Structures are given as C-alpha cells and as structure tokens.
Structure 1
C-alpha cells in the first residue's frame, strides 16, 4: 500500500506540472498523433499496391497496428528509461536515488513518467474498433479481460527488454547507443511475424519477443487459430522477461559503486 500511495502522489504532482504548460502538452499530443498517422499511412501505401501480404489483409494489418499501440503507450508512459545511462550513471544521479528508502527502479520509473504517452493507447483502441468493424469481428464478454491481460503482458515484455538493456550501464558507464537500435528492432513486432524469414521469426519470438506485443495477441481477436498458443503465452513472456529485468537490476545495483569524482 505504501508503494501504491507513492505512485499516485507522483502521478498527481506530474499532472499538476504538465497543466502549468498546457501549450507544450498540446504540441506533444499533436506530434504523437502525427507520428502514429505516418505509420498508418505506410500500411495504407503498401496495400495500395497489393490486396494481401502473405495472407494478411489491409484491415488485419491495421488492427495489429492498433493493438500494438496500446501496450506500447503504457510502456512509454511508465517505463521511460531511454536516458538512464546518460542521466543516472554518467551524471551520477543514481547516487541520489539510492539514498531513499524506496526501490531504485520504482523511483526511476516514477521520475521518468510521461502520462501524455497514454494518448497513443486511446488512438490504438480507436484504430482497433475501426478495423474490427470492417472485419466484422465477433467478440465475447470475456474478451475484454483477455485484452487487458494481453496488453499488460506486452507492456511488461517491452519493460523487461529495455530495463535489461539499461542494466548494462552498471557494468559499463560509457555512453551507449544500444537503446535507439533496439527501439528500431522493436518496430518489427507491429507486423505479421510470418512475413519474415525463419531467423528473424525466432529472434522476435524467443530472444527479443516483440512479436508478443503486437501480432501474436492480435491473432487471437482476428480468429487466427494457428497462433492461439502463442497469443496466450503473451502474459507468461511478460512476467518472465520482467522478472529477468528486475533480477539483473538488483544485481547491477549491488555492483554500483557511485559516480566518484
């Protein structure tokens, strides 16, 4: 309950801060919408030249993209650790974090919170509803709970992978560009996995499981029964990769010796 209380206190302060600069908040919303629109336009352009992409229709691709936006938005809002190496290791702010009686990862998650990223989740749901209506998808009452489970699983997969990458900084404090590279790789998860060759499919499923963020869980709602087994592995993969990330984080913190002079 203590951690829950701290979380909501941080959230309240964050909202107050953002509302002080409403023009900046509006610009951020517009820029996010433009970014999402560009990706959607790319899908439309591709299907302007073909009706099917390895058996997937345009509306199915749009649905997958919409689903992908939801867990990605939650990840962007609560696990914004892109600059961990630069800010907390190179600049020495990790020393400040470790003097407080709260788990260091929890503190950093709260400090780097960006709730405006949640707008991407709303956009994703709108895109899913649009594509689903065109596909005439039939949903059941329990699909809402499955949807939430899949979304949380996808969010924790993203969090697990990027937190694990951040922990590299505990062993090497040199500036690294691995985060942007991994972000580019993660974008492959928003497209059907079977359009790639076997090696890439294996990597995106078991090593860097970004396929569980978009295509696998979406396949359940699209009625692709051959992918159901992978779809229901989504929350399991999320828990496993997030647990690994927390383990590596705790190991890294024990190794950390401070910024020095």
Structure 2
C-alpha cells in the first residue's frame, strides 16, 4: 500500500507540473499521434503493392500494429529510461535516489513517467476496432480479460529489455549508444516474425522478446492457431524477463560507487 500511495502521489505531482504548460502537453500528444499515423501509412503503402505479406493480409498487419501500440504506450509512459546512463550515472543523480527508503528502480520509473504517452492506448484500440471489424472477428466473453493480460505481459517484456540495458550503466559510467539501437530493433515487433529469417525470429522471441509485444499476442485474436502457444506464453515471458532485468538492476546497484568528483 505504501508503494501504491507513492505511485499516485508521483502521478498527481506530474499532472500538476505538466498542466502548467498545457500547450506543450498537448503538442507532445499530437507528435505521438503523427508518428503513429506515419507508421500506419507505411503499412498501407507496402500493401499498395501486394495483397499479402508472407500469408498475412493488410487488415491483419494493421491489427498487429494496433495491438503493438497498446503495450508500447504502457512502456513509454512508465519506463521512459532511455537517458538513464547520462542522467543518473554520469551526472550523479543516482546518489540522490539511493538516499531514499524506496526501491531505486521504482523511483527512477516514477521520476521519468510520461503519462501523455498513454494516448497511444486509445489510438491502438481505434486501429484494432477498425481492422477487427474489417476481418469480422468474433470475441468470446473472456477475450477482453486475455487482451489486458497480454497487453501487460507485452509491456513487461518490452520494459525488461530496456531495464536490463539501462543497468549496464552501473558497470560502465560512460555514455553508450545501445539504447537508441534497441528502440529501432523494437520496431520489428510490429510485424509478423515469419517474414524474417530464422535467426532474427529466434532473437525476437528468446533473446530480445519484442515479438511478444505485437505479433504473438495479437495472433490469438486473429485466430492464428499455430501461434497460440506463443500468445499464451506472453504474460509468462513478460514476468520472467522482467524479473531477470530487476535482478540485473539490483546487482548493478550493489556495484554502484557514486559519481565521484
């Protein structure tokens, strides 16, 4: 309950701060929306030259993209730690974090929240409803529950990768360029893994599980039975990878010796 209370206090303070500059707040929402539209247009352009992509129709690819946006929005809102190494290690703000009686990762996450990114959930749902209606998808009563579970599992899988990468900063106090590269690789999760070769497919499934953010969980709702095992593994993969990433973080914190002088 203490952590829940702290979470809502951080959120409250964040909203008070952001709404002091409402124009900037809504411009960021608009910027995210335009970025999502550009990605959607890219998919439409690709399918302007072909009817199917490795057996997947245009509406199915759009559905996968829409689903991807939801866990990605959750990740972007609460795990915005792309500059962790520069801000907390190189500039020494980790010293301040470690003086407080709250888990360090929890503090870093809440200090870097960007709740405007949650608008991506709305965009994702709109795309899903549109493509789902085009595909005449039928839902069972328990599918909305599975939808939430899969979305959270996908967000945890995505977050796990970046928490683990951010933890590298505890062993190397120099700026690194790994984080931007991972953001680019994460885009591969927007598309079916079977359009890639076996090596990339293996990496996106078992090394950098970006496939569990988009195509695998979405395949269940698209009734792709050959992918059901991966779909139902999504929350498990998310929990396992996130647990491992927190373990790596904790080991890194033990190694941390301060910013120095």
TM bucket (normalised to shorter chain) is over 0.9
CA distance in 2, matches of 1:246, 1:134: 41
Structure 1: gaps (5+ residues): none
Where structure 2 has 5 or more consecutive residues not aligned to the other structure, the ranges are: none
User: 1:179 aligned to 2:179?
Assistant: yes
Give the CA deviation at 1:235: 0.3
Partner of residue 67, structure 1: 67
* Inter-partner Cα distance in structure 2 for 1:26 and 1:170: 35
Distance 2:95 2:183 in 1: 27
1:29 Cα deviation after fit: 1.1
- Counterpart for residue 224 of structure 1: 224
Q: CA deviation at 1:15?
A: 0.8
CA distance in 2, matches of 1:246, 1:32: 28
Runs of 4+ in 1 over 3 A off after TM superposition: none
Partner of 2:79: 79
Q: CA deviation at 1:121?
A: 1.1
Q: How does 1:64-143 map to 2 (within 5 A)?
A: 64-143=64-143
Query: C-alpha displacement at 1:18, in angstroms?
Result: 1.0
Whole-angstrom CA distance in 2 between matches of 1:188 and 1:181:
12
- Secondary structure of 2:257's partner? coil
Q: Distance in 2 between matches of 1:193 and 1:142?
A: 26
SS of the equivalent of 2:189 reads helix
Instruction: Quote the residue 1:42 is aligned against.
Output: 42
Q: Does 1:163 align with 2:179?
A: no
Give 1:219 shift: 0.3
Once the two structures are superposed, the pairs formed by residues 223-242 of structure 1 within 5 Å of their partners are 223-242=223-242
Q: CA deviation at 1:88?
A: 0.1
Query: How far is 1:252 from its partner?
Result: 0.4
Report the counterpart of residue 56 of structure 1 in structure 2: 56
State the alpha-carbon separation in 2 of the partners of residues 81 and 25 from structure 1. 19
Provide the C-alpha distance between the structure 1 equivalents of 2:22 and 2:212, rounded to a whole number of angstroms.
35
Root-mean-square deviation over aligned CA pairs = 0.5
SS at match of 1:74: helix
CA shift, 1:28, in A, is 0.6
Count of aligned pairs:
261
Partner of 1:192: 192
Query: Shift of residue 220 of structure 1?
Result: 0.1
Partner of 1:250: 250
Match of 1:12 in 2: 12
